[in-house]
Chains A and B, each alone.
Chain A
Amino acid sequence: MALINYAKREINLKIVYYGPAFSGKTTCIQYIYDRLDSRFKGKLITLATEYDRTLFFDFLPMELGEIRGFKVRIHLYTVPGQVYYNASRRIILRGADGIVFVADSQKERRRDNIISMENLKSNLSTYGLTLHDIPYVLMYNKRDLTNILSREELDHDLNIDSVPTFESIAIRGIGVLESLKSITKSILKVYYSRSS
């Protein structure tokens, strides 16, 4: 749910990083935070356990700048991937404008990716939404490891809608900004087509 304030000429967008536990969602948002020019970033908030697993969410506000007379603000969130934190995932998904699904490329995580995607669909449905109602992109993360699924296998499991996909190594920042840029474009295209 984008908040479009014509009085203040502002658009607020919410992007949620989703995916199975340990896939690299927090690493992505941390990298974005580190790379952002300090003039455009807010505080990075991470609500995590003492072992760095996301407990509720990570939050990073950033200011994209002015596009066609509107100041665009983007709020990035990550959800906790661990299965039993589903109530938290549902809450954070509320009002999302776009999703970056971070899959773990490792072979032994194949099932977890699929379960997480099913979980995403089921949580969206509690808000009356399907994956067809919201822009999303896929990150195939941890491409630096050896025992990994091929791109085709990951596409087969997760990319039923032929959305943009990115092979990434989040710990080195590879593919992180590209996927953020891609989802931002997809969301803004939807909104600008309605407000121009």
Chain B
Amino acid sequence: MGRFLKLGENGNNERNISLPMERIRIYGERFERIKSNIDKLLQESDAKCAILIDKAGAPVAYSGDLSGIDIESFSALVAANFAATAEIASLVGEQDFETLYHQGETHNLYFQFVTKGIVLAVIFDRRTSLGLVRIKTENTAKAISSIIDEIFKQAESESSNVEVEPHREIPDITHDIEQDFDRLFGN
């Protein structure tokens, strides 16, 4: 992080917020490429399912048999757990924390760092082995990592263009949000 877009004034009681550049914008073609890499991983490793999770704990893309898995809770916990374990590792002087493995009774979990705080989580069972999952996951992480790097590079060049543009009109979405809240909280 550390480079920001300046936005214009947006009215009363609101400050001039500069937007952290490191938001991920994923467009169709790159999303499909990420997804097909995950599909390939599942085919080649015989893993049950895999989820790509961003550093804020949101699922980016997933594939496989996800029945019975609460994807959002899973992603939030994996991101926090991975970050916490990385901190623990650094406390004992391990800087390059890349993978995390949990062996369960029927399901095993394998987490692999991708890039920029993004983690690839793979769930597998007895049909396959840790060795195979490890190798295939590492390859997949490399492939996805280069797609993510493309996304960030594009964001960077876009933002340097955007900065010279005049500030655009900010659409009034206040009304939409009011309605949504009314619907959500039933009043």
Residues of A within 8 A of B (CB): 1-8, 12, 14, 35-37, 40, 42-43, 45, 56-57, 59, 61-62, 64-65, 67-68, 72-73, 75, 77, 87-88, 91-92, 94-97, 127-129, 132-135, 161-164, 177, 181, 184-186, 188-194, 196
Contact = CB atoms under 8 A, between A and B. Distances in A.
Given A7-B27, A75-B58, A188-B173, A59 B76 contact: yes
Contact of A4 (B14, B18, B25, B186): B25
B185 A37 contact: yes
B110 interface: no
Given A65-B184, A190-B19, A95 B80 contact: no
8 contacts: A6-B27, A14-B57, A65-B184, A75-B56, A75-B58, A162-B13, A185-B173, A190-B17
B55 A94 contact: yes
Contacts of A36: 184-185
Interface in B137-187: 162, 167-168, 170-171, 173-174, 176-178, 180-181, 183-186
B98 interface: no
Q: Which of B7, B13, B162, B177 has the most CB of A within 10 A?
A: B177
A105 to B, nearest CB: 21
B111 to A, nearest CB: 15
Contacts of B184: 36-37, 40, 62, 64-65
B180 A64 contact: yes
A18 B43 CA distance: 43
Q: Which of B30, B84, B180 has the most CB of A within 10 A?
A: B180
B89 to A, nearest CB: 12
Interface in B1-60: 1-2, 4-5, 7-8, 10, 13-20, 22-28, 30-32, 54-58, 60
A134 B56 CA distance: 15
Contacts of B178: 181
Nearest to B77: A45
A189 B55 contact: no
Contacts of A135: 15, 17
B80 A92 contact: yes
B56 A1 contact: yes
B21 to A, nearest CB: 9
Contacts of A7: 26-28, 30-32
